[in-house]
């Protein structure tokens, strides 16, 4: 017989002191009568121990009570086939469009709760979250008002798959409550068919769609300038023609204006955003509030001082065209944020001291291979050849495979160096850290057509910003639904709460701060904002069948009843003997 708490069987050791008590208990005095003396002489004699134990029924009653209580505490049970307890997994759509129909969705769920013994709830967002596991209907009813939608799209298919995992092999029912306006991932209807094919799960799609009129900020673009950003926002009207008040606040002050936008019309709003947090607000009340606000965070665009040493070339022209970059061709090394070494650049001991804590970009022009370079140059190889990207790093979005390479250095990366771009195994673009400093080896400048491409100044802009610690404007302005990995446990200030985590899910519109960084997150999701849906789903039905499984039959109540009977009998014997 299995036990759920076998350690409680140690209570059977209580039998030992019970036996000892009866062995040492004082015996009553015997008085012999002459009339029966000869009658008892022929009886069989028992040992003293057996006589004391067997002759007293109270001993056996107390022994039964101890054994029964110990067994009851151990939790005896049997395994047998039986009907599974009813289990409902609720998948609640937590996407942005549900802000207009979340209350009706909760009412739909409440109507199902009392039909089941166990309730689990999954909040379907960009990453589904299990918020209740096998709770009671009362627990589900209490927690339901705490759930809120987020400014993201929901992966309904992944949420259904997660629900089927919660049901396990015994099966059960899944209730998906959604407005079915949009979703990410696979088609939820296809996923429903796959799950139901096993015959142990029934899935119902409950429609909470309410519709409504909405006006939304659906996209934004940033064009960096010198100490500012030109921002353009797109506003779309999904309802009837209306005039809306617009407020822009930020480091540049506060301005207000009104815009008349026709039905299904667009309005482009442009303004200058200065370093810091800038906010656009549509001062209206409509179906979704998150898309009525947008934030633009402009990193501090402090001027960077760059020292260019050597012959003038395309790199110098690219540097001179960059905003917030002041380029000099002479001066004291310690006065500059970064040094670029080109052809015929003079090197001295002061440069070696600067490299230990400074930032250097080396443009190869011959076969020299100073020790501070992240690569060791041994020769020159003929082209043409194609470039292969091993690590985009700061050069994300550039098309290196389209660059024409006519010849390139025959080099090998030193230990500790990071190769970003290579040609036939030879590093062309690489960097490493020396102490507190950074040295970049830029072999793209040696013999290629890179300087003729429109991406060339962008490459220099991103490289300068990365080396001097200026965050990219696009990296500081994200869309909700994205996930940022911080690399370690960090304190994160979201628009609503502060938490400690190693990843950030951008599910709110607003400003996030962590590790000294600031990120603005905006909804910019026309599909969610439109409140329009392109298809309807069949409701489906639950199986309505009895599902069998291996169930545990608890025997503890029967053992407890036996213990209670033994205790009652013990009290009756003691009362009969007048011992109480």
How does pLDDT run along the chain (580 residues), one tens digit per residue?
677 788 877 877 877 887 777 666 655 556 565 555 554 554 545 455 555 555 667 777 777 878 888 887 878 877 654 444 589 999 999 999 999 899 999 999 999 998 899 999 999 999 999 999 999 999 999 999 999 999 999 999 999 999 999 999 888 999 999 999 999 999 999 999 999 998 889 999 999 999 889 999 999 998 877 678 899 999 999 999 999 999 999 998 999 999 999 999 999 999 999 999 999 999 999 999 999 999 999 987 778 899 999 889 999 999 998 888 899 998 888 899 999 998 888 767 788 788 878 899 999 877 778 888 999 998 888 888 989 988 887 787 788 888 999 998 899 999 989 999 999 999 999 999 888 889 999 999 888 999 998 889 989 988 988 888 777 788 899 999 999 988 778 899 999 999 999 899 999 999 999 988 899 999 999 999 999 987 889 998 887 644 444 546 677 888 788 878 878 887 877 777 665 5
The one-character DSSP state at 86 is: P
Query: Which residues, 6 or more positions from 396, have their beta carbon under 8 angstroms from its beta carbon?
Result: 462
| Whether the Cβ atoms of residue 522 and residue 546 lie closer than 8 Å to each other | no
CATH of the structural domain 304-468, one choice from 3.90.226.10, 3.40.50.300, 3.40.50.880, 3.30.70.270:
3.40.50.880
| Residue 84: how many other CB atoms lie within 10 Å | 20
| Residue 21: how many other CB atoms lie within 10 Å | 11
What are φ and ψ of residue 491, in 5° steps?
-80, 125
Domain 85-212+533-545 has CATH 3.40.50.410: yes
Quote the CA–CA distance of 245 and 402 in Å, as a whole number: 47
Domain ranges of the chain: 6-80+555-577, 85-212+533-545, 304-468, 475-522
Before 384, cis peptide (omega within 30)? yes
State the helix-helix crossing angle for 57-74 and 15-24, rounded to 10 degrees. Answer: 170
Quote the CA–CA distance of 575 and 217 in Å, as a whole number: 86
Residue that the structure tokens 């000099």 belong to: 328
């Amino acid at each position: 017989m299995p036990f759920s708490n076998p350690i409680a069987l140690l209570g059977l050791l209580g039998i030992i002191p019970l036996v000892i008590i009866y062995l040492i208990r004082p015996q009553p005095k015997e008085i012999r009568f002459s009339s029966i003396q000869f009658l008892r002489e022929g009886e069989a004699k028992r040992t003293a121990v057996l006589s004391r134990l067997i002759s007293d029924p109270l001993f056996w009653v107390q022994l039964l009570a101890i054994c029964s209580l110990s067994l009851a505490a151990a939790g005896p049970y049997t395994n047998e086939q039986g009907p599974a307890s009813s289990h409902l997994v609720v998948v609640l759509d937590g996407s942005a469009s549900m802000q207009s129909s979340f209350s009706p969705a909760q009412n739909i769920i409440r109507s199902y709760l009392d039909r089941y013994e166990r309730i689990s709830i999954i909040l379907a967002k960009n990453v589904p979250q299990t918020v209740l596991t096998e709770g009671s209907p009362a627990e589900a009813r209490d927690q339901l008002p705490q759930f809120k939608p987020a400014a993201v799209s929901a992966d309904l298919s992944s949420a259904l798959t997660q629900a089927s995992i919660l049901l396990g092999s015994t099966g059960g029912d899944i209730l998906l409550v959604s407005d079915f306006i949009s979703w990410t991932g696979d088609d939820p209807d296809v996923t429903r068919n796959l799950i139901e094919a096993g015959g142990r799960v029934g899935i119902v799609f409950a429609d909470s769609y309410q519709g409504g009129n909405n006006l939304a900020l659906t996209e934004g673009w940033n064009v960096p300038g010198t100490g500012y950003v030109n921002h353009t926002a797109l506003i779309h009207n999904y309802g009837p023609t209306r005039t809306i008040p617009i407020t822009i606040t930020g480091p540049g002050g506060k301005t207000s204006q009104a815009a008349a936008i026709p039905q299904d019309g667009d309005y482009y709003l442009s303004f200058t955003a200065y370093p810091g947090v800038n906010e656009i607000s549509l001062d209206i009340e409509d179906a979704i509030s998150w898309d009525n606000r947008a934030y633009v965070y402009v990193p501090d665009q402090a001027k960077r001082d760059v020292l260019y040493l050597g012959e003038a070339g395309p790199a110098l022209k690219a540097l001179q065209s960059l905003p917030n970059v002041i380029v000099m061709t002479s001066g004291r090394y310690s006065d500059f944020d970064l040094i670029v070494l080109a052809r015929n650049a003079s090197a001295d001991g002061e440069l070696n001291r600067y490299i230990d804590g400074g930032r250097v970009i080396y443009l190869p022009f011959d076969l020299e291979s100073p020790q501070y370079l992240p690569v060791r140059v041994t020769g020159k190889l003929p082209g043409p050849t194609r470039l292969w990207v091993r690590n985009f790093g700061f050069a994300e979005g550039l098309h290196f495979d389209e660059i024409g390479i006519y010849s390139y250095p025959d080099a090998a990366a030193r230990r500790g160096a990071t190769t970003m771009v290579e040609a036939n195994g030879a590093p062309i673009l690489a960097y490493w850290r020396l102490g507190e400093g950074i040295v970049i080896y830029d072999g793209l400048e040696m013999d290629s057509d890179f300087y003729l491409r429109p991406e060339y100044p962008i490459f220099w802009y991103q490289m300068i910003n990365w080396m001097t610690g200026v965050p990219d404007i696009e990296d500081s302005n994200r869309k909700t639904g994205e996930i940022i990995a911080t690399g370690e446990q960090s304190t994160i200030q979201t628009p609503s709460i502060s938490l400690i985590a190693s990843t950030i899910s951008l599910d709110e519109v607003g400003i996030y701060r962590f590790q000294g960084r600031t990120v603005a997150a905006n909804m910019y999701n026309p599909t969610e904002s439109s409140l329009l849906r392109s298809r309807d789903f069949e409701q489906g039905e639950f199986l309505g069948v009895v599902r069998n499984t291996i169930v545990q039959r608890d025997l503890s109540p029967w053992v407890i009843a036996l213990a209670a009977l033994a205790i009652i009998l013990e009290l009756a014997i003691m009362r009969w003997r007048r011992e109480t």
